[in-house]
């Protein structure tokens, strides 16, 4: 494989055949050698947090100043084209380190929202498109194993580098939506808690699931230019036996409250973690404005509208019958 020479500076040697163990070792090493990473881990444990519950469904909000830049990121094509790509190794900090798996580099996120937060970037600068990568995605989730969930933000749905392909990963037990999906029926179901509209798939067969995810993806409406794929967030988890895949189709990236210029303004920029039940705000002021009603309003506003969602659900039910 042709790797940009700068990757050789970053990539460390695999020590075992267990990807998760190697990730843990990489993180341990990073905490020793990369001060930003070490302070990020420490800060994560001390964030202001509160939990909202509705029956068995939970949403956690946090005040996390480390995420400010990401929450306010300008992802318009012109801005993206003009900035140095932060997922290309020429622009990494000197302390950067990573593990190579196939053509992806597993990198620690120095500005974490959750424990063991990783960015998993392509070693090539190529667009954030998922259509041909369902097989890769499922194999990566299986390889990382039950401790981790692998997430994806589509362009226009929270990806801060829509020009450089990447997944993310975090501890699976940190995502409330994933525990909600534990007891759903096999094959296909939906989750509509807090006004979200989520498609969920459960299967022990990788190729069967790949086929169904790809089919579901093709059913979703494609938004207008400049996007070429449906606006989408995804969570995939392999529990050792079965996969669970959560597809969260979106109507738009940011809610009205993000753009408001008066006291209604709340900096919430929903990407996959928010949709999976971890609502990130940058500071205490914004954190204080989050309540059950706001969560419900934001989820309802940015999720794919009810009518196209129902159409997709009917097609998927027909296909699974």
The answer to whether residue 197 forms part of the interface with Zn ion (CB under 5 A) is no
Q: Closest approach of Cβ 30 to Zn ion, in Å? A: 21
CB-based contact 33:10 (threshold 8 Å):
no
The answer to whether residue 107 forms part of the interface with Zn ion (CB under 5 A) is no
Query: Which CB atom, from 85 or from 206, has the smaller least distance to Zn ion?
Result: 85
The answer to whether residue 164 forms part of the interface with Zn ion (CB under 5 A) is yes
CB-based contact 222:118 (threshold 8 Å):
no
CB-based contact 235:245 (threshold 8 Å):
yes
Query: Which CB atom, from 83 or from 264, has the smaller least distance to Zn ion?
Result: 83
The answer to whether residue 87 forms part of the interface with Zn ion (CB under 5 A) is yes
The answer to whether residue 67 forms part of the interface with Zn ion (CB under 5 A) is no
CA distances from 65 to 51, 71, 166 (A): 19, 10, 23
Query: Which CB atom, from 123 or from 200, has the smaller least distance to Zn ion?
Result: 123
Q: How far apart are CA 251 and CA 302, in angstroms?
A: 5
Q: How far apart are CA 175 and CA 31, in angstroms?
A: 23
Query: Which CB atom, from 85 or from 257, has the smaller least distance to Zn ion?
Result: 85
Q: How far is C-alpha 96 from the chain's CA centre?
A: 21
The answer to whether residue 159 forms part of the interface with Zn ion (CB under 5 A) is no
The answer to whether residue 125 forms part of the interface with Zn ion (CB under 5 A) is yes
Return the range that interacts with Zn ion (CB under 5 A); candidates 82-90, 172-180, 209-217, 245-253. 82-90
Return the range that interacts with Zn ion (CB under 5 A); candidates 23-31, 91-99, 117-125, 299-307. 117-125
Q: Nearest residue to Zn ion, using CB?
A: 85
Query: Which CB atom, from 21 or from 124, has the smaller least distance to Zn ion?
Result: 124
CB-based contact 265:256 (threshold 8 Å):
no
Q: Closest approach of Cβ 226 to Zn ion, in Å? A: 18
Q: Closest approach of Cβ 125 to Zn ion, in Å? A: 4
The bridge status of strand 104-108 relative to strand 118-122 is antiparallel
Structure tokens at 305: 């509208």
DSSP 8-state code for residue 310:
H
Q: Closest approach of Cβ 88 to Zn ion, in Å? A: 3
What are residue 176's phi and psi, to 5 degrees? -55, -35
> Can you tell me whether residue 75 is helix, strand or coil?
coil
The answer to whether residue 38 forms part of the interface with Zn ion (CB under 5 A) is no
Residues that bind Zn ion (CB under 5 A): 85, 87-88, 125, 164
């Amino acid at each position: 494989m042709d790797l940009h020479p700068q990757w050789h500076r970053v990539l460390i040697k695999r020590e075992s055949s267990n990807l998760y163990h190697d990730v843990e070792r990489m993180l341990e090493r990073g905490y020793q050698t990369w001060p930003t990473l070490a302070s990020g881990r420490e800060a994560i444990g001390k964030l202001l947090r509160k939990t909202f519950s509705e029956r068995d469904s939970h949403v956690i909000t946090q005040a996390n100043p480390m995420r400010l830049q990401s929450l306010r990121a300008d992802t318009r094509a012109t801005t993206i084209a003009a900035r140095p790509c932060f997922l290309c190794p020429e622009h990494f900090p000197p302390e950067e380190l990573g593990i190579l798996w196939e053509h992806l580099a597993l990198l620690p996120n120095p500005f974490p929202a959750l424990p063991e937060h990783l960015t998993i970037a392509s070693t090539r600068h190529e667009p954030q498109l998922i259509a041909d990568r369902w097989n890769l995605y499922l194999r990566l989730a299986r390889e990382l194993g039950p401790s981790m969930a692998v997430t994806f933000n589509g362009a226009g749905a929270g990806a801060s580098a829509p020009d450089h392909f990447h997944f993310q990963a975090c501890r699976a037990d940190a995502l409330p939506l994933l525990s909600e999906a534990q007891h759903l029926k096999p094959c296909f179901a939906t989750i509509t808690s807090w006004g979200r509209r989520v498609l969920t798939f459960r299967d022990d067969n990788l190729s069967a699931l790949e086929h169904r995810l790809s089919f579901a993806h093709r059913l979703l409406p494609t938004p207008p230019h400049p996007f070429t794929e449906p606006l989408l967030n995804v969570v995939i988890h392999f529990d050792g036996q079965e996969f669970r895949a959560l597809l969260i189709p979106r109507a738009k990236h940011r809610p009205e409250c993000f753009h408001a210029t008066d006291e209604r303004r709340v900096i919430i920029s929903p990407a996959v973690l928010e949709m999976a039940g971890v609502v990130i705000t940058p500071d205490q002021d914004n954190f204080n404005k989050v309540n059950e009603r706001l969560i419900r309003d934001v989820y309802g506003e940015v999720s794919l509208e009810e009518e196209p969602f129902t159409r997709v659900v009917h097609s998927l039910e027909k296909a699974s019958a």
